[in-house]
Amino acid sequence: MALSLDGQVLLAAVPGAGGTRVIALDRLPERLEEAAAAAEYETEAERAEVWAIVPGRPAWPLHWTEGIGFNPPRRTNC
């Protein structure tokens, strides 16, 4: 997973049955704001119901990921 320096684009390698795929999400801050606005109206029961049908391994506990977006980007001298 990688985030652009300006925080606008998120790239992720996703394993699948047909091999690894690369997914790019642009306008990330805008998408996060839209998701937060939508989440305001869902109940905990609705959220749990949706996550229960997502295939794959169980998700990490929410408290592990709550602050991940607030970590400052690392600068390298490349």
> Looking at the DSSP assignment, which residues form a beta bridge with residue 14?
21
User: Number of structural domains, the chain?
Assistant: 1
pLDDT of 55 reads: 72
Give the global pTM. Answer: 0.47
**Which helix H or strand E contains 35, and what residues bound it?**
helix 28-39
Is 54 in a helix, a strand, or coil?
coil
Confidence of residue 5 (pLDDT cuts 50, 70, 90): very high
Residue-range definition of the domain harbouring residue 23: 2-55
pLDDT of 69 reads: 66
3-state helix, strand, coil in the chain (%, to 5): 35, 15, 45
> What are the structure tokens assigned to 77, written together?
């001298």
Give residue-wise pLDDT tens across range 13-65.
888 888 888 989 899 999 888 888 887 888 888 888 877 887 776 656 666 66
Q: Is residue 9 part of a domain?
A: yes
Strands (E), the chain: 2-3, 10-14, 21-25
Q: Is residue 10 part of a domain?
A: yes
Q: Is residue 41 part of a domain?
A: yes
